[in-house]
Amino acid sequence: MPVNEKLWRKRREEAYKRLWEDLEIGYLDEDLLDILLEFFKRPESYTTSSCSGRIVVVDSRMPWERRDATIIFKKHAPISLDEIKDLLKQPVLYRLWLVASGPIIHVVTLTAKEALKVLRIAREAGFKHSGVMSASRKGYLVELRTGIRLAVLLKTPNGLVVNEQGLNEVVKAVNEALIEGKKRLNRLLEALRRHSIK
């Protein structure tokens, strides 16, 4: 299953174009730009979908389920107590989850060697749950991921789960989680620069 280099180069060019389009329309997390560019400086890597970390409120049976899930709030920056309080006034269908996730970056490499190199750099920067997810003629897909994740139950159809003072503590914790994610991004940027290909 060798990688089709021509196809890989074509996809890389498209991804690079999309990066600048996404930036222009404000779709790209600016926290990520420097890191993504650092990957594009590597001749055998490019990035596709990425997220700098986020806080989401979702109504679903379980926070990892997509089916019957309704995202009612999403933010890539710290949240305030009032933002969440407003959401808690609404009725709940399944369960209301407050989820904080660390950054996720998808890198497609031309060779297995480069995939493993990227993995090592990522692990060094605290992206401990990173791995090669698949390999095909399109390249090696490497997912860079930290262990940062909170999924707190806020409310069910039976009422609130968290008390008044508790909500304060929960908001503090998810904000800390988000900031921890941004710190790992900084560490990743530094690690990439240290291991840059001259």
C-beta closer to its own copies: residue 41 or 74? 74
Residues in contact with 68: Cβ distance below 8 Å, sequence separation at least 6, in sequence order: 60, 61, 93, 94
Measured from the CB of residue 134, what is the shortest distance to its own copies in angstroms? 7
81 scored as a contact of its own copies (CB under 8 A): no
Tokens of 32: 């990520």
- Cβ contact 90:187 at 8 Å: no
- From the list 24-32, 35-43, 59-67, 82-90, the region that binds its own copies by CB under 8 A is 59-67
156 scored as a contact of its own copies (CB under 8 A): yes
Measured from the CB of residue 126, what is the shortest distance to its own copies in angstroms? 10
β partners of residue 73: 57
User: CA angle at residue 79 from 77 to 83, to 5 degrees?
Assistant: 135
Measured N-to-C along each axis, helices 30-40 and 164-194 cross at an angle, to the nearest 10 degrees, of 20
Site size toward its own copies (CB under 8 A) is 43
Q: Which residue in the set 148, 185, 188, 192 belongs to the binding site for its own copies (CB under 8 A)? A: 148
- Cβ contact 104:141 at 8 Å: no
20 scored as a contact of its own copies (CB under 8 A): no
- Please name the amino acid found at residue 23: L
- From the list 3-11, 41-49, 75-83, 167-175, the region that binds its own copies by CB under 8 A is 167-175
71 scored as a contact of its own copies (CB under 8 A): no
Measured N-to-C along each axis, helices 164-194 and 81-88 cross at an angle, to the nearest 10 degrees, of 130
Per-residue mark of binding to its own copies, 92-131 (x: CB under 8 A): ---x----------------xx--x--xx--------xxx
Output the CA–CA distances (angstroms, integers) from residue 41 to 13, 45, 148, 192, 198, in the order listed. 13, 8, 27, 10, 9
- From the list 13-21, 46-54, 73-81, 163-171, the region that binds its own copies by CB under 8 A is 163-171
Which residues in this chain contact its own copies in the complex, by CB under 8 A? 1, 61-64, 95, 112-113, 116, 119-120, 129-135, 143, 145-153, 156, 158-163, 165-166, 169-170, 173, 176-177, 180
